[in-house]
Amino acid sequence: MRVGIIGAGASGMMAAITAANYNAKVTLFEKNERVGQKLLATGNGKCNLSNLEFNMSKYYCADKEKLHTIFGVYSIWDMLSFFESRGMMVRSKNGYLYPYSEQASTVLDVFRRNLKNDNIETVTDCDITMAEYQKDSNTFAVMGNGKVWEFDKLVIACGGPASLKKNDGLTGFKLAEGFGHTINKVVPGLVQLRASDKTFFKAVSGVRCQAKVSLLADGILLGEEEGEVQFTDYGLSGIPIFQFSRMAAYAIEEGKRVCVSVNFFPDQEQKAFEYQMRLRYDYYMDSTIEEFLLGTINKKINQAMLKASGIKPADRISQLGFKKVWEFIMSYRNLTIHIESVNDMEHAQVCAGGVDFMQISTQMESMKCPGLYFAGEVIDVDGKCGGYNLQWAWTSGYIAGRNAAGSSTKSLEVENHGEEKHAEN
């Protein structure tokens, strides 16, 4: 079986090695000079492989039941077995899985060694410009750099435009369209949000603090996250912001009014917080509002909040009065930030959107063109921060590669959800 794989990222390399292990003759195409370059930047260079806290709530896609089935075929434990059987130790840090060396280069070295040992032909510096199914020979023709290759099966694992320059990373979508697939709107995912109030953010730029953030569009709650939020000179960053940024991007595309509500005291129950602030008010009655805020949260945030409210730091609590002080301090539980845009694709860790998941089977095979398979980010499936997107790459790559080699994974599909399979192991 001759299998062609377009894209030598995480999912493409996994597909190539898997197909070769099932006796296929594999050719792997990569437009860059070397394979796996994007992998080196994952997890801040440490490569967050996956996460022990695995569940479907960590993913965005059109059919969670189908996704359950797919992860039942190739789970976290299968991924761990793959790497450990090839000599790479893995460590867990609060459930986040990394190579024991905490170097993404280790993961790439493992893949490169196996690509070589499995006699996989790797064609680099090759920009694939055309791929089509030839009915007369029942084969796929692939063209790049003026050459044409023919394959019995084809896997598109080109990834997407995230972290690349404008208009880069679109090859997979264009090829998929050529085979009749629908490409759902592609937007940046796991990316920063840009706020409209530049004055406030310039004052708090560089601050990091624990907070609960809520995303709203036209007043409707879309999601809530809690953790370390980072303030930049243009808006909001940090993992909690990344987790729902793709929802913000789609809402903005639809012309909705998007805002983020920030609670700077996420670990304080409302009644307990009110009681504590009332005691604080009485104690600081003869003090300034600046002294009242001393020892609460970051000083830069306090100063910016005061300026935004029109209250001067030297104003005394007794002069301001209970109502004004109370309204001010309660605003720390619900600071509304209007979002005008998300950062561009070049700053995103993944992209949302892509090849319609509903047009792909649990075998990762095209429902439009038999013998054509997809894997990785090119598909409209994306996960939250924490290794979930790489787990999708390993899983989809394995299934696509094995099926393309002619060894069906149909018998491996389980009715149990991925989480239930994990619990049994």
CA within 13 Å, CB half, 135:
2
Please compute Rg for the chain using Cα positions: 25
Express each pLDDT in 314-347 by its tens digit: 999 999 999 999 999 999 999 999 999 999 999 9
Q: What does the H/E/C string look like for 171-218?
A: HHHHHHHHCCCCEEEEEEECCCEEECCHHHHHHHCCCEEEEEEEEEEC
User: Per-residue b/e over 108-141, b at no fewer than 16 CB within 10 Å?
Assistant: bbbbbebbeeeebebbeebebeebebeeeeebbb
pLDDT single digits (tens) 124-138: 999 999 999 999 999
Tokens of 380: 């409209």
Per-residue pLDDT, 415: 54
Bridge partners, 335 (sequence order): 262
**259 touches 338 (CB < 8 A):** yes
Q: What is the pLDDT of residue 99?
A: 97
pTM of the model: 0.93
Q: What is the pLDDT of residue 41?
A: 86
pLDDT tens-digit map of 7-62: 999 999 999 999 999 999 999 999 999 999 989 988 889 999 999 999 999 999 99
Compute CA 366 distance to the chain's CA centroid, rounded to the nearest angstrom: 24
Q: Specify the domain boundaries for CATH 3.50.50.60 within the chain.
A: 2-188+351-424
Q: In the prediction, which pLDDT does 352 show?
A: 97
Q: Which two tokens stand for residue 97?
A: 């899985």
Q: What is the pLDDT of residue 167?
A: 85
Low-confidence ranges of the chain (pLDDT < 50): 417-425
3-state secondary structure (DSSP) of residue 278: helix
Helix/strand/coil for 419? helix
pLDDT attached to residue 81: 97
Distance CA 259, CA 341 (A): 10
User: Cα–Cα distance between 194 and 190 in angstroms, integer?
Assistant: 13
Tell me yes or no: is domain 2-188+351-424 CATH 3.40.50.2000: no
Distance CA 283, CA 130 (A): 74
